[in-house]
Structure 1
Amino acid sequence: MNILKFKPLLKTTIWGGEKIVPFKHLDSNEKQVGESWEVSGVKDNESIVAEGDYAGWKLNDLVASLKDKLVGKENYERFGNEFPLLVKFIDARQQLSIQVHPTDEQAQALGKSRGKTEMWYVMKSDADASLRSGLKQQITPEEYTAMVENDTITDALAEYSVKEGDVFFLPAGRIHSIGAGCFLAEIQETSDITYRIYDFKRKDKEGNYRQLHTKEAAACIDYTVYPDYRTKYEPRKDEPVELVRCPYFTTSVYDLTEPMTIDYSDLDSFVIFVGLSGSGEITDAEGNVTPFQAGESVLLPATMTTVKVSGTIKFLESYV
């Protein structure tokens, strides 16, 4: 089975910018593209295979057909026919809402399949870009509600100026917000459940305020205060650097200037590569060559035991 590429699902948003279309080398006139869903098994938003033997197939239909050959034995037993990761590019021209996501247990109590733990890898963003992640002061649920009502909730949040290469891990329950000027890759559980806490009194194009979920969010927020929410790591060339390891995904970054063979023979999972910068190609064990460049995301099936990546390219590697 060959490496898979998918058609991007572009999402126009009121806060979206103009970075995604050129970054992905797309022939599109769409404006205010806030998100490109790169690999998605979310119902009604499934990725479509772009080329090859399975061109036109929806991702979850492919999982149902290929089962463990695509996602791995343990993953298929755990997640069934729903692909377990959602990968996005996000371009925020304006400040996004302050929000939080429930845990799996909280989501399932509401009849949803799972909650949402996620991570951000910051790409080339505006010079003044910033984001918010976590609480910087101890507050109670009652104080949280009052701060939302009197427009001071941002005073309780940790804010970070960001640059290319910054990483933030966002376990379910961590309050957060992507700031204006941020351009990033997001890797998360397959879930689209979000509780919008505060939206800066912003109105949509019809002049209406967007729905808030202040009460639901209060029950999901982790009120623990940590000294620093940024993920620290040491960048290195030509070797994998692990960024996040959690029950939902493991993500590393590669910054290659020379060819590297990556051995997946002991891994019982699919692997996703997310191109961040540069270009190159991926050669599988049978000698099949797949071009790979910044702005592309590719899926390696679980049956693929080794690949050789060549070129000058930086990319994320994620698997479950």
Structure 2
Amino acid sequence: MMKLYPLKFKPIPQYRIWGGNELNEVLSEDLRMDKLGEIWSISCLDGFVSEVENGPLKGQNLKDLILKYKGELMGNKVWAKFQSEFPLLIKFIDAAEPLSVQVHPNDELAKKRHNSFGKTEMWYIIEAKEDAELIIGFQDEMTPESYQNHLENETLEKVMNKVSVEKGDVLYLPSGRVHAIGAGVILAEIQQASDITYRIYDYNRIDKDGKKRELHTELALDAIDFHPIEKIKTDYTLSNNQLENLLETPYFESKIYSGDQEIAVSSNEEMKILICTEGQLKLQTEFGGIELKKFESALIPASVKEFKIISSHATVLEVKVP
């Protein structure tokens, strides 16, 4: 069986009513579009399975590779837990206009209603305009009754917690946390492999067909965490030319590297995902190398024992499944 090597995948572009055009720079001309809201960089969701675009495995899809290589690709512990279900979805998002205010269900609710994983996620802000904001939770303690009153009176925006953001900010969004990305934000999103979203408010926006988008008011009610949030942004250390811890969650763990020197990283026989958010770099292993630039990702199979990050003023997120 062919030895595994660092894998890049063909990007999956997604039209969104609120999308911009910045992400088009990493797409071939035939994939570019107006209102490009998202690029799904690594996905195994039905209908959106990533296809390898480099090396001898070019053209094969991630689902087939998981079934063929099992623990060699995902790591024995992750394979034993998830089998053929790839546990993460990696995205880049360009919000030229505000996203809807939304919430995602937890594992239990998502399994019961949709036979799906829940959706806990993390955002890393790649670019943000000077006045860019996010909506993260509520300003004060809410109850289902007070929440519904605000919905009915169209005053929900007044009680949402708005947060100014800038490049390099990290935000943790466990399932149940109401949120929205504001206009002028480009970010990398690391999340559970789920596309279950309950839209609760959409600014009375009209879609390309002249209709208001569907809201999921009743479904959202049981999913929302109504408690205020003590700490919204994640504190972390950014050291030049070192890999530093960023965030640990039950679903994924992340680190960050920023610099311009070569560093060697052990895989510890775990699958790693590298996400380039600034500059460019080369990943070198005994089985070959690939180049990554801004808005690109790569999967390092667990069977690759060590890899080198050869950076040209790059910032990179490293992600693994605990």
* TM-score category (smaller protein): over 0.9
Alignment of 1:274-285 (within 5 A): 274-284=275-285
Alignment partners' CA distance in 2, 1:244 and 1:60: 27
Counterpart code for 1:62: L
Query: What letter matches 2:109 in structure 1?
Result: Q
Which residue number in structure 1 is paired with residue 130 of structure 2? 127
Please name the residue that 1:209 is paired with.
212
Residues 261-297 of structure 1 deviation map (CA, whole Å, 9 limit, x = unaligned): 11123xx43111011111121111x262222222210
C-alpha distance in structure 1 between counterparts of 2:28 and 2:166, whole Å: 25
Once the 2 structures are TM-superposed, how far is the Cα of residue 315 of structure 1 from its aligned partner? 0.7
**Match among 69, 74, 77 for residue 77 of structure 2:** 74
CA contact (8 A) 2:6 2:289 kept: no
1:100 is aligned to: 103
The Cα shift of 1:311 comes to 2.1
Q: Deviations over 1:10-47 (max 9, x none)?
A: 0111110011112x264354111000000001111111
Superposition TM-score, scaled by structure 1 size: 0.95
State the AA in 2 paired with 1:92: A
Contact 1:25–1:295 (Cα < 8 Å) also in 2: no
* 1:314 paired residue number: 315
Q: Secondary structure at the match of 1:291?
A: strand
The question of 1:229 aligning with 2:238 is answered: no
Q: Number of matched residues? A: 316
Name the amino acid aligned to 1:311: S
SS in 2 for 1:314: strand
- Give the whole-Å Cα distance in 2 for the aligned partners of 1:231 and 1:179: 19
Residue 27 in 1 paired to residue 42 in 2? no
Q: Per-residue deviation at 1:230?
A: 1.1
Identity %: 38
Rounded to whole Å, the distance in 1 between the matches of 2:297 and 2:119 is 21
Structure 2 unmatched ranges of 5 or more: none
Contact map agreement 1:48 1:55 (CA 8 A) in 2: yes
In structure 1, how many angstroms separate the alpha carbons of the residues matched to 2:51 and 2:275?
17
**Pairs within 5 Å for 1:260-279:** 260-265=263-268, 268-279=269-280
Q: 2:234, 2:138 → 1: CA distance?
A: 16
Q: Kindly indicate whether residue 39 of structure 2 is the aligned counterpart of residue 43 of structure 1.
A: no
Asked if 1:181 corresponds to 2:200, the answer is: no
1:148-179, CA deviations, whole angstroms, 9 ceiling, x for partnerless residues?
22221122221111111001000001010000
CA distance in 1, matches of 2:66, 2:140: 44
Q: Contact 1:101–1:116 at 8 Å: present in 2 too?
A: yes
Choose the corresponding residue for 1:109, options 100, 108, 112. Answer: 112
Does residue 140 in structure 1 map to residue 137 in structure 2? no
* Match among 72, 85, 88 for residue 85 of structure 1: 88
Paired AA for residue 135 in structure 2: R
Query: Which residue number corresponds to residue 118 of structure 1?
Result: 121
Paired residue secondary structure (2:183): coil
Question: 2: distance between equivalents of 1:203 and 1:288?
Answer: 49
2:222 is aligned with 1:219: yes
* Contact 2:265–2:308, Cα closer than 8 Å, also in 1: yes
The unaligned stretches of length 5 or more in structure 1 are none
Given the alignment of the two structures, is residue 161 of structure 1 paired with residue 164 of structure 2, yes or no?
yes
Q: CA deviation at 1:189?
A: 0.3
Q: Which SS does the other structure have where 1:65 is aligned?
A: helix
Q: Which letter maps to 2:29?
A: D
TM-score (norm 2): 0.95
Aligned to 2:305: 305
Q: Give the counterpart letter for 1:237 in structure 2.
A: N
1:202 shift after superposition: 0.5
Residue 292 of structure 1 corresponds to 292
Shift in alpha-carbon separation, 1:287–1:192, aligned structure 2, 3 A: closer
**Matched position secondary structure for 1:137:** coil
Deviations 1:65-119 (CA, angstroms, capped at 9, x unpaired): 1111100111112111121110000000111000000110111111422110000
